[in-house]
Structure 1
Amino acid sequence: MARCAALVESPDAAELYEEVVKLQPNAVEAYAFLNAARGSVAVPTPYVAGGEAYGAVQGLAVARSLVARLAYAQAIDEIQRLVRRHGNVASLVALQATCHYMLNDGRRAQALYMKARKLDPSLMVEMGTYADLLRTTTTDDNEHKLYELGSALLQTDQTRAEGWTTMARYLLLRGQLQEALAISWKAQALAPGSADAFYIEGVIQMAAVCPEEAADAFLKAHMLARNALTYRGIVDAYLACARYKDAFVVAKEAAELMPAHAQTLTMVGKVLSHSADTHEKAAELLRMALREDRRCADAVDALASLYAATGRHDEAIAVMDEFLAENPSDALHAKLADILTLADQLPRAAENYAVALDINPGNERARVGLNRVDRLMNPDAQHLQDGGNGEEEDEIGEPIDEPLPPSDQDDEMMLAMMRGEQGDIL
């Protein structure tokens, strides 16, 4: 029936073929039509059963199958083979970018995402993952980039989840957790099959210190499309809930799928670090993760935290000093400053709190830490309170230049559209 519908170019053909693929994932002919309908591969006719177009779609099916199995390096090889034979296709380049992101190669991933958007400015696939990369990248203008990407995606298609999940990330970076959460729910309502819509809810719930709710959201995302990010989200949420056995089961599964991956080794190491009996095993796994990838910031944080929690401050500081240059985030500078404070190295602690605030002026942990160190170093100094509200003033000196944020008018218009005050979106 689906094939007949395609031959007469019925508008129902894509939906029928999608049902075929759901029932039989290896139905490559159905996959060919489905991806052609979605614009994933440049197939010249609605249905092609042979030739170069069929080979391209078959190769894409192989690549996506590898991605589903978390075999990201092999997927990259398959995509590169397709690009060499069939030229640059935006969706292929974006999928390759996602594979690099899952392997913690953010720089390469961002370059490929930007290339994909140049090839097709209306591209939607993989853009939620691109937005997640921008959210986690330490740059001066990541808020700006997220806002621009979200605006472009919403202008392209407001009925898909990608634009909404991108704007949810933008609001999260701005500290507007309730608004971000509402947008994530809107994305879920519009696209209940979007894993990213549930994943970003999990991220927001973790930021709001609601780990049980975060675990539920991450699990829903994982059921729709498991990847390295959903595994990490579930493990972190379970650890925050003190569900260590559940966290270990999930981390072990991820490590079996990606045995030489720094992030999965880190997951297992983080779980084991919560038991005194397995501290050394945890440290060994975390060091192994850093041998695999020196840019695994999560492993640096976890190993330093493990040493600091067991009173081995000098070893914790040594770990941070060794890897911080390759992971220059505000969070890690603040973590190092915390450890330096515990080790009574107050001048260095103040210096690192200040660096954290240079990177991210909104880092409340660094601001509070800097004021605390300042009091410890200058116990007789008079510390000002701001505006009579009991909060300490930021005392790091000259104001830090920040990129211009979107205007208030732009924000109001975007928020109005998100709340359903414009258009027909629920």
Structure 2
Amino acid sequence: MILHEQIQMLFDNKLYTNIVALAPMVLSATDNNPELLPPASIAQTMVYLADSFLEQKEYGKAEVYYRKALDLRKTLSKQRGMGNSAAKELSAETEIRYQMHICHLALKQSVQALLVLQGIPAKLRSVRVNMALGKLYVMNGLERPAISAFKEVIRECPLALEAILALIKLGVSYVELVRLIFNGNPSNNLDWVVQWIKGQCHLHSCEYLSASTIFCHLQDASLLKDDVTNLVSQGTTLFLAGDGAGALLPLQRAHSLDPLSLKGMDILAVILANEKKSVELEALALKLISVSDSSFESWVAMGYHYLLSRKLTRALYLAHKACTCCIPTPGIEPLILKGTILQELKKWPEAITHFREGLQTAPHRFEIYRGIVHCYLALQRSREAMNIAASSLHHIGHTPRTFTLYASVLLKDPVTTAKGKVFLERALNMDPRYTPAVFLLIDSYEQAGQRSKAIELLTKQINQQPTNRLHHILGDLFIKNGDMDKALEQYNSALMLEPNNVKTIEAINRLENALVAKLENHLDLEADDLPDSDEEVNSI
């Protein structure tokens, strides 16, 4: 029985736990008796043992044995006596280094992982190695070598979509990508691929309207109808553009088509939380956790579920767990979630820290600017809030959301209130249905004593998009004007839209009680005017 062949047989049959039990004893025996195995077989046994530890996710032990095997391999390669047969027995250095990099990544050691792969000569780097190098360069903030590495991947595998998306995020233009992928002449049967790539370029350039148009066209009139990847891209684009309601349908469609896919489900959780759809959010979170408990999307969804349930301490723990899933690269949605929860807990400085961390990697995300502004306003630091709101105009552009955010800061100071109203009106000119601007403008009109303008704006909005809240606010304004009948009419309209709305029901009850009390008071006054006895009647 040849010992090395037995170890190889165990490995070929994937009996990794048996190798972990046997190989260390074999290596100890060879230390005491070097003639038990030739040096090349010892090195290969170390690789088998390292691979087995890697399969069992014992990354530290695996890395130690890979390094020992690599060192022994180098020693053997320098010896003149090592023949071709011994060399063939050894795993390639490239393969050993690639496995070592996996161990370092699992141990959160991205720099060491990068150094290990950089030790492979450029001519010997496979497509897989270049792909890993590209990712590591991005992790360590080295953009130029990352671009070079991903380009090498695409030269060998032109439709490596992950590499293509990485290059888009790194700022490579659409024209350069098409030239690199198709040599400048894409075939007609791959036109849908070209369009999808073009849509991704628009998306990462924050040109959301153009991106949405392309993704919607691919969904409606091409081979990508009901494709999960395209649906997620469509939903993500609409969400980033501020159209949460529009993003909901494609993301829900994607989830129904592939319930095991996690991509974009963190954004779906955000939308469901914003829409207060607690039942759907809980179902989504439980499903994602059952799919994977090591992906940030699952913990983001569960975190928003607890945030919506006002269990903030639990939500904060889940948000932290989501953040740790993204190490070493920070995830945007986990950071926004954690910042939002800290904001709800009134831990303003900590919330600002997390929002600012997100701002470094995603300066286009409106939610980050909004969170920082609200925190600064809570800390009564209006100047910093103004600077951040102005920065959103610069990085995101002039949109209804950024105009409204900037106006919300201006309205805090009586000196700039008039300017704030101008920005709100500009926001509504761009999107007449943008309700956050509507509510702020109504408040400013009311504070200025311009109740008639507030009623006029509300009436116009209700004609365009009747909601419970709009009817309710209009009812409140009618009460302040003393018009109880119109107020009751608005509350009833609000209740028809949301029959279980507690605030509306309470408002109706208060108003009806007030009307009854008023009527009873009026009847009491009339009764006081009536004669008390027959004698008084006769005297009259």
- Taking structure 2 as the reference length, the TM-score comes to 0.57
Range with greater deviation from structure 2 (145-154 or 116-125): 116-125
2:143 is the alignment partner of 1:24: yes
CA contact (8 A) 1:28 1:61 kept: no
CA contact (8 A) 2:134 2:149 kept: no
| Equivalent of residue 98 in structure 1, options 232, 236, 240 | 236
Partner of 1:239: 377
Partner of 2:208: 72
How far apart are the structure 1 equivalents of 2:517 and 2:288? Answer: 52
Partner of 2:536: none
| Equivalent of residue 424 in structure 2, options 286, 293, 309 | 286
- Provide closer, same or farther for how the CA distance between residues 107 and 258 of structure 1 changes in structure 2, counting only shifts above 3 A: same
Cα RMSD (Å): 4.1
Q: Which amino acid aligns with 1:198?
A: L
- Where 2:432 maps in the other structure, the secondary structure is coil
- Tell me the CA shift for residue 349 of structure 1: 4.4
CA contact (8 A) 2:281 2:305 kept: yes
Measured against aligned partners, the alpha-carbon deviations of 1:136-163 in whole angstroms (never above 9, x if no partner) come to 236xxx2222122222222222111111
- Provide closer, same or farther for how the CA distance between residues 206 and 322 of structure 1 changes in structure 2, counting only shifts above 3 A: farther
2:453 is the alignment partner of 1:315: yes
Identity %: 23
| Equivalent of residue 302 in structure 2, options 167, 190, 194 | 167
Partner of 1:7: 126
CA contact (8 A) 2:320 2:338 kept: yes
**Higher helix fraction (1 or 2):** 2
Q: Which sections of structure 2, spanning at least 5 residues, go unmatched?
A: 1-116, 166-177, 520-540
Q: Which sections of structure 1, spanning at least 5 residues, go unmatched?
A: 42-47, 382-426
CA contact (8 A) 1:102 1:229 kept: no
- Tell me the CA shift for residue 282 of structure 1: 1.4
2:329 is the alignment partner of 1:196: no
Partner of 2:317: 182
Measured against aligned partners, the alpha-carbon deviations of 1:356-395 in whole angstroms (never above 9, x if no partner) come to 67766886765665565455445589xxxxxxxxxxxxxx
2:412 is the alignment partner of 1:274: yes
Partner of 2:3: none
CA contact (8 A) 2:255 2:265 kept: no
Measured against aligned partners, the alpha-carbon deviations of 1:8-61 in whole angstroms (never above 9, x if no partner) come to 746xx65432122341167175279599586998xxxxxx97346999999877
Count of equivalent residues: 371
- Where 2:242 maps in the other structure, the secondary structure is coil
Partner of 2:437: 299
Q: Which amino acid aligns with 2:136?
A: E
CA contact (8 A) 1:304 1:316 kept: yes
- Provide closer, same or farther for how the CA distance between residues 77 and 372 of structure 1 changes in structure 2, counting only shifts above 3 A: same
- Where 1:218 maps in the other structure, the secondary structure is helix
Q: Which amino acid aligns with 1:223?
A: Q
- Where 2:455 maps in the other structure, the secondary structure is helix
CA contact (8 A) 1:206 1:237 kept: yes
How far apart are the structure 1 equivalents of 2:151 and 2:269? Answer: 27
How far apart are the structure 2 equivalents of 1:120 and 1:318? Answer: 47
How far apart are the structure 1 equivalents of 2:192 and 2:300? Answer: 30
CA contact (8 A) 1:70 1:228 kept: no
- Provide closer, same or farther for how the CA distance between residues 242 and 308 of structure 1 changes in structure 2, counting only shifts above 3 A: farther
How far apart are the structure 2 equivalents of 1:298 and 1:120? Answer: 34
How far apart are the structure 2 equivalents of 1:323 and 1:374? Answer: 26
CA contact (8 A) 1:31 1:61 kept: no
Partner of 1:385: none
Q: Which amino acid aligns with 1:143?
A: S
- Provide closer, same or farther for how the CA distance between residues 208 and 33 of structure 1 changes in structure 2, counting only shifts above 3 A: farther
Which protein, 1 or 2, shows the higher relative CO under an 8 Å CA cutoff with sep ≥ 6?
A: 1
Q: Which amino acid aligns with 1:176?
A: K
CA contact (8 A) 1:188 1:197 kept: yes
- Provide closer, same or farther for how the CA distance between residues 60 and 260 of structure 1 changes in structure 2, counting only shifts above 3 A: same
Q: Which amino acid aligns with 1:215?
A: I
Q: Which amino acid aligns with 1:70?
A: C
